[in-house]
Amino acid sequence: MMLRVNGQWGRRLHLAIILLSIAGLSYLLWQGLKANPNYQPPLHKLKALPDFSLPNALCPEQLITPMAWQGQPALIHIWASWCQSCIAEHKMVQQIHQAYDWPIYGVVYQDDMQMVQQWLAHQGNPYQSLVADEQGSLVVALGTLATPEWLVLDAKGVIHLRHLGPLTEKKFKQQFLPLLQHLKQEHL
């Protein structure tokens, strides 16, 4: 039809092009089935904790800065009391706090501090340090998508792992624990 070759071989060439396109598209789609179609923010390795100055959720007059979260490998938990999945995973957070001595720093996102204080008083507070991010400035600076989200921090304040969604015990043991132990080794 359009290429210079005419006649029998022209026809065969065009047929080959059509069939190759079908095969190519099929292959692309087959591979695509294996991938995760959901958006995941770029996990920049070795991204430092952004600068912030946010009030302590339990004691709003006190301001907390990234300095307070440096010194040892730790976990950061971004959550909110209106988020169903966060409430559901709270038990797990307690278990981690009791079983291990990794500090857990919390970021409460877009929440009412009184509600948070009441809730933690009732359920128990596993957080070594808890900041109130009502406007979401820290959350956006971290590139978070939604609550809950978990981050692994090293002693110098660099982020090594990001986990979207609620944390399960299995994931914690498989992904977080080895990384935390590795970071502790490095720090020593």
One of 1, 46, 67, 99 touching another protein (CB under 8 A):
1
Q: Does 81 contact another protein by CB under 8 A?
A: no
Binding to another protein, residues 27-66 (CB under 8 A): 28-35, 37-42
Buried b or exposed e, range 106-139, using 16+ CB within 10 angstroms: bbbbebebeebbebbeeeebbbebbbbbeeeebb
Contact 38, 114 (CB under 8 A): no
Binding to another protein, residues 116-175 (CB under 8 A): 135-137, 139-147
Closest approach of another protein to the CB of residue 175, in Å = 20
d(CA 130, CA 145): 20
One of 15, 59, 115, 121 touching another protein (CB under 8 A):
15
CB atoms within 10 A of CB 87: 16
Q: Does 88 contact another protein by CB under 8 A?
A: no
Q: Does 19 contact another protein by CB under 8 A?
A: yes
Closest approach of another protein to the CB of residue 72, in Å = 26
149 Cβ neighbours under 8 A, 6+ residues apart:
77, 78, 142, 162, 163, 164, 165
Q: Does 185 contact another protein by CB under 8 A?
A: no
Contact 85, 147 (CB under 8 A): yes
Which of 118, 137 has the CB closer to another protein?
A: 137
Judged by CB under 8 A, the number of residues near another protein is 39
Q: Does 20 contact another protein by CB under 8 A?
A: no
d(CA 71, CA 66): 10
Q: Locate 92 and state its tokens.
A: 């797990």
Q: Report the interface residues with another protein, using CB under 8 A.
A: 1-2, 11-12, 14-15, 18-19, 22-23, 26, 28-35, 37-42, 109-110, 135-137, 139-147
